[in-house]
Structure 1
Amino acid sequence: MEGFEFYNKDRINNFINHRKGETKFGEALKFVSTFDELEASEAKYVIFGVPEDIGVRGNHGKPGTAKAWNAFLNSFVNIQVNKYNQPENCLILGEVNCSSFMKASLGTYTKIELGEIVQQIDAQVAMMVKTIISQDKIPVIIGGGHNNAYGNIKGASQALDRPIHVLNVDAHTDLRETDYRHSGNGFRYAKEEEYLDRYAMVGIHQNYTPQYIFDYIDADKHIQYSSLEDYLHLTTIEKLIKFKKATDFVRNKFGLEIDCDCMKNFDSSAMTPSGFNVNEIRSFIKLSKKQEVLYMHLCEASPENNPMIGKALSYFVSDFIREDR
């Protein structure tokens, strides 16, 4: 596929910290160089990156999300192969080649022009997700901005030939007006183009959701939300029970979106002092897997000033791909 870079062992070898007597994940992973080879692979989970921050910049966010993919790889390929972590059920496919898009976006562009570049990335992401799901595999997408949710939803919908349900753990609804494409309106576009049916949001911030968006939500019985404020005084068990209500709303076969600005003091495009913690997100991921998840998308992480960000993303992915034994 034009615009996609397949990875091989040489491509990730520099990320691996080799140690005698141990097998790191990256040492045991298998790779493919075509989509025909992917279809023949026994891997259930297919991981790929979208290293861009164009949609974030178009939405007044902090740049830096383009670096999350490499930060994730640096940690993920160094987890241990052991009885809990088995590499045969996943592969690292590669990345959407965003270098030309990033270069083009660095000129003097209006927001509309940035949105046009985002739409080109949308097309690439949608085709990737459609191809992977059509082969009965589960994409794991590492962004990049939350603008890529639109491509995920469109691709999944086209693969299944129906609108899909999505659960989004996020500080924001990303239901802003569809004036131009950016990281804050992917779900609105997906709704209006009928790729998205039921939409559950967990942890949105009351302070940063405009009234017109609450009005939009209230008018659609297929949209449900709980705010972060609803979770503040709950026990751990109560939080999980409340989260399960969101998974029940989207039912089986839903896309799982996790925007990293939902976490407290987590370096992201819209960093916040109030939010969930990393362990709560790990529990949410584990609980989501009680039903059938079509894909998982991690986005908006900005790791430049914090080496722990890539490690957190690695925990989220390893939790998602780990099969109960």
Structure 2
Amino acid sequence: MDLLTLCSPAYLNALLSTRPGETKLGQNLQLLDQFSAQALLQAKANGARFALLGISEDIGPRANLGQGGADDSFAPAIRYFGNLQANRFFDGRQCLLVGDIRLPNSETSLDSLRDSVARLDEAVTEVITALLNAGLEPVVIGGGHNNAFGLLRALAQSHGAGVAAVNLDPHCDFRPLEGRHSGNGFSYAANQGYLSRYHVLGLHEQKNSEASLAQLEAFGGSWHSFQDIWVRRRITLQQALNDISAVNQSLPLGLELDLDAISELPSSAITFAGVPLLDACHYVSVMASQCPCHYLHLAESAPARHPAGVDAGRRVTGQAIAELLLAYMSARP
């Protein structure tokens, strides 16, 4: 747990803007004074169901020859989420604000970056395992999509067998096993037996190599393409979600969302031809309500990639992630 930094009351209070006569979600979040099995079980006993965890790193995208900036999502997300109103619809008492896993890395060589991603895998697996063992649902914010591997490994080990994942993402992230990075978290998880079923929603037909598509197909993975839903309109989003839900009822499910799927959202691979934010919220809500989800993973947002600068990027990503968090947690049965 040496890479985990817990959120303190002072940290949280600095993010909140309170008003007399109102209660903000952040004022009701539970906090930890230590990361231990006993402390997590006590939080669960006190009503916590969801464990908010940040991953503040961008080595995974850089190890995939991509852009940095994915290390700056957690604080903006908690600022905007925490300043929403606590009321009859959702009051925040169900949430444990854990902290964030930090792995600063100044390395630039590809080999050293990929070695660091493998080290990060261990930390993510360890923290997620502890949260799952306490009966909490991890809600993970930030970092590269490389961290899907640690999440799936922890879930599979907790379950005792391979699990399922559904991923809203233009990229299938099923690239070759060439050293760990943000583009092969799912292929590594499949190769090591942690991932048994995998579906990609919104896969962009021209943003995936033939080798990746062939490898995904050989594994037995499936997809609905971005073009078939949002361009050609051959199938509606709701029909796709119904199809996905129907075949994801038996295995524990990891719910994945690469924020570079969302149109104009600052990310390591920002797009101006992507999925509307409201459709992404609907995806999260439907999957959370209809499938046996065990975690939510919101990866790859990078505020510094906003065309208007990092402050604008923090506002946009903070608001977007806050809405996605609400969509997930308010929909869980």
TM-score range relative to shorter protein: over 0.9
Distance 1:273 1:155 in 2: 34
Which of 74, 86, 89 pairs up with 1:84?
89
Shifted more, 238-247 versus 290-299: the winner is: 238-247
* Residue identity matched to 2:50: Y
Shifted more, 42-51 versus 250-259: the winner is: 250-259
Distance 1:236 1:83 in 2: 39
Runs of 4+ in 1 over 6 A off after TM superposition: 234-237
* Residue identity matched to 1:48: L
**Aligned residues of 1:54 and 1:118 also touching (Cα < 8 A):** yes
Structure 2 residue 29 is the aligned partner of structure 1 residue 21:
no
Partner residue in 2 for 1:11: 11
Distance 1:236 1:210 in 2: 23
Shifted more, 31-40 versus 188-197: the winner is: 31-40
Partner-residue secondary structure (3-state), 1:141: strand
Distance 1:207 1:71 in 2: 32
Partner-residue secondary structure (3-state), 1:258: strand
Partner residue in 2 for 1:278: 277
Output one character per residue of 1:65-104: Cα deviation in whole Å (capped at 9) or x when no partner.
10011111111110110111211111111111x2xx32xx
Structure 2 residue 80 is the aligned partner of structure 1 residue 75:
yes
**Aligned residues of 1:172 and 1:209 also touching (Cα < 8 A):** yes
* Post-superposition offset of 1:208: 1.0
**Aligned residues of 1:154 and 1:195 also touching (Cα < 8 A):** yes
Partner residue in 2 for 1:40: 42
Aligned residues: 318
* Post-superposition offset of 1:308: 1.4
* Residue identity matched to 1:37: A
Distance 2:125 2:42 in 1: 21
**Aligned residues of 1:167 and 1:247 also touching (Cα < 8 A):** no
Distance 1:322 1:149 in 2: 23
Distance 2:61 2:122 in 1: 17
- Superposition map of 1:128-167 within 5 A: 128-167=127-166
* Post-superposition offset of 1:324: 7.3
- Superposition map of 1:46-57 within 5 A: 46-57=51-62
Distance 1:201 1:135 in 2: 29
* Residue identity matched to 1:239: L
* Post-superposition offset of 1:6: 1.8
Distance 2:132 2:279 in 1: 28
User: Over aligned residue pairs, what C-alpha RMSD do you find?
Assistant: 1.8
Distance 1:217 1:323 in 2: 30
Shifted more, 183-192 versus 244-253: the winner is: 244-253
* Residue identity matched to 1:251: Q
Output one character per residue of 1:271-302: Cα deviation in whole Å (capped at 9) or x when no partner.
11211110001111110022220100001111
Partner residue in 2 for 1:310: 318
Identity of aligned residues (%): 26
- Superposition map of 1:1-325 within 5 A: 1-33=1-33, 34-35=35-36, 36-41=38-43, 42-96=47-101, 98=102, 101-102=103-104, 105-107=105-107, 109-221=108-220, 223-233=221-231, 238-252=236-250, 253-289=252-288, 290-304=290-304, 305=309, 306=313, 307-322=315-330
Partner-residue secondary structure (3-state), 1:267: coil
Distance 2:22 2:157 in 1: 42
Output one character per residue of 1:232-286: Cα deviation in whole Å (capped at 9) or x when no partner.
2577992112122123333342000000111111111001121111000111111
Distance 1:323 1:186 in 2: 27
Distance 1:54 1:287 in 2: 31
Distance 1:37 1:312 in 2: 30
Distance 2:198 2:149 in 1: 13
TM-score by length of 1: 0.93
* Post-superposition offset of 1:220: 2.7
Unpaired stretches in structure 2, ≥5 consecutive residues: none
Output one character per residue of 1:156-179: Cα deviation in whole Å (capped at 9) or x when no partner.
111111111000110101111111
* Residue identity matched to 2:257: I
* Residue identity matched to 1:240: Q
Partner-residue secondary structure (3-state), 2:297: strand
**Aligned residues of 1:200 and 1:250 also touching (Cα < 8 A):** no
Distance 1:81 1:302 in 2: 28
